[in-house]
């Protein structure tokens, strides 16, 4: 995700400094080159050796390192594409707002031209204090990017605002800073994702093995390219990208209602959900008891979201997914024509790496002109990014 990106993480004094260890580890796992700089107070909570081990680079602690040199903060200020101050203490925010550079971290921040994100973490009274809020606003006015803290239990035992933002929200903010593009700027994209569940009784349901990973990756990719994204999702364990508007549904009928009601407000529809084709004719009010004889379940057809959307398509771009186990191209071409699609993404779950609950996909694209394009095995994030590029091209044609 962050291959080729240099990210500098600044750590200040606060109990939540231990959470920054996980942040650094995950950034490194995402292929970023990570360096860490710390204040003297931060080193009282987490050792420099911990961050050196996690990042694979020396930690900057002192403006005058033992190895000599007097401009180390300039070299460190020029190195990154982004700086993340995590946690950002009230003391460091105040000094930064005042232009004070009395340690290596502050001197580096004042010398950099890279975008800086800051992630406040402190007691609730400190966070809401007018002096802190004024300092925070000064940084925002100067172009610093705030990752808003959360509300909850604080290390001091109190409850309120000031808890360090979740790691996923911090990483999302770094993604926006480093990976954002303009391909879908000003466009409104509606995406369906995940499975649907059709209840049989209070404890059982019919569903499928979809994890929702492909649809969620598409929502993130579209948002990173500037789109306003609405994600209509069936039940999943996934967390949506922070800039995405999530609508949760359960059944195919709920997904159809939520999607079709929002069509007119969007420029692009991407139907990536694995919608159940059938539902039980009748939902039992009580749990179906086990019996010695076979059980017959009458099923009825669920709404066809893409077919209904085709009737009001207009100039909107429609993209569908076609999961087939045989005659993939032929069946998908019929789907494209019948449902007035601009693009079909075809995959076969029996292909290695393209099944359910994996992080990769092997897809073939079929467009309205009959062009077929097969891609190699890629991560679902890579597939999503390339599909968004294709959609952007369709919007220009």
> Which residues are catalytic, by number?
156
Q: Give dist(CA 85, CA 119) in Å, integer.
A: 6
- Angle CA(323)–CA(397)–CA(372) in degrees, nearest 5? 35
Phi, psi torsion values for 245, nearest 5 degrees: -90, 110
Please report the beta strands in 281-371, taking only residues with DSSP state E, as ranges in sequence order: 299-301, 317-323, 343-347, 360-361, 364-367
Q: Checking phi first, is residue 212 left (phi over 0); if not, alpha (psi -120 to 50) or beta?
A: left
Count how many Cα atoms sit within 13 Å of the Cα of residue 132 in the half-sphere of its side chain.
Answer: 16
Distances (CA, A) of 99 to 81, 135, 288: 22, 11, 70
- Residues 115, 82 contacting (CB under 8 angstroms): yes
Peptide bond into 87 cis (omega under 30): yes
- In DSSP notation, 157-222 reads S-EEEEEPPPHHHHHHHHHHHHH--STTTT-EEEEEESB--EESSSS-EE-----SHHHHHHHHHH
- Angle CA(175)–CA(180)–CA(185) in degrees, nearest 5? 140
Phi, psi torsion values for 169, nearest 5 degrees: -70, -35
């Amino acid at each position: 995700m962050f291959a080729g990106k240099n990210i500098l993480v600044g750590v200040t004094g606060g109990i939540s400094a231990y959470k920054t260890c996980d942040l650094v580890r995950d950034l490194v796992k995402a292929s970023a080159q990570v360096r860490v700089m710390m204040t003297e107070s931060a080193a009282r909570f987490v050792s420099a050796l911990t961050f050196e081990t996690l990042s694979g680079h020396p930690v900057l602690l002192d403006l005058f390192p033992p190895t000599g040199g007097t401009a180390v903060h300039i070299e460190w200020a020029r190195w990154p594409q982004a700086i993340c101050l995590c946690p950002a203490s009230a003391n460091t925010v105040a000094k930064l707002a005042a232009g004070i550079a009395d340690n290596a971290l502050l001197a580096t921040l004042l010398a950099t031209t890279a975008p800086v994100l800051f992630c406040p973490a402190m007691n609730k009274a400190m966070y809401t204090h007018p002096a802190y809020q004024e300092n925070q606003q000064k940084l925002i006015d100067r172009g610093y990017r705030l990752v808003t803290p959360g509300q909850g239990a604080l290390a001091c035992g109190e409850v309120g605002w000031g808890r360090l933002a979740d790691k996923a929200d911090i990483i999302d903010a770094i993604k926006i800073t480093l990976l954002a593009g303009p391909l879908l700027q000003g466009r409104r994209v509606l995406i369906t994702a995940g499975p649907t569940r059709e209840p049989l009784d209070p404890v059982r349901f019919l569903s499928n093995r979809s994890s929702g990973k492909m649809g969620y990756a598409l929502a993130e990719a579209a948002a990173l390219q500037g789109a306003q994204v609405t994600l209509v999702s069936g039940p999943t364990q996934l967390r949506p990208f922070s800039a995405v508007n999530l609508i949760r549904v359960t059944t195919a009928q709920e997904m159809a209602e939520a999607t079709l009601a929002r069509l007119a407000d969007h420029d692009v529809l991407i139907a990536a959900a694995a919608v159940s084709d059938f539902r039980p004719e009748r939902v039992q009010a009580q749990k179906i008891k086990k019996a010695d004889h076979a059980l017959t379940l009458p099923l009825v057809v669920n709404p066809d979201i893409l077919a209904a959307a085709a009737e009001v398509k207009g100039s909107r771009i429609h993209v569908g997914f076609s999961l087939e186990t045989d005659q993939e191209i032929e069946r998908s071409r019929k789907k494209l024509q019948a449902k007035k699609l601009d693009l079909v993404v075809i995959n076969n779950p029996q292909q290695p790496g393209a099944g359910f609950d994996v992080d990769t996909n092997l897809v073939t694209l079929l467009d309205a002109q009959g062009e077929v394009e097969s891609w190699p095995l890629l991560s679902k994030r890579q597939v999503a990014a390339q599909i968004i590029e294709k959609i952007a091209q369709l919007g220009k044609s």
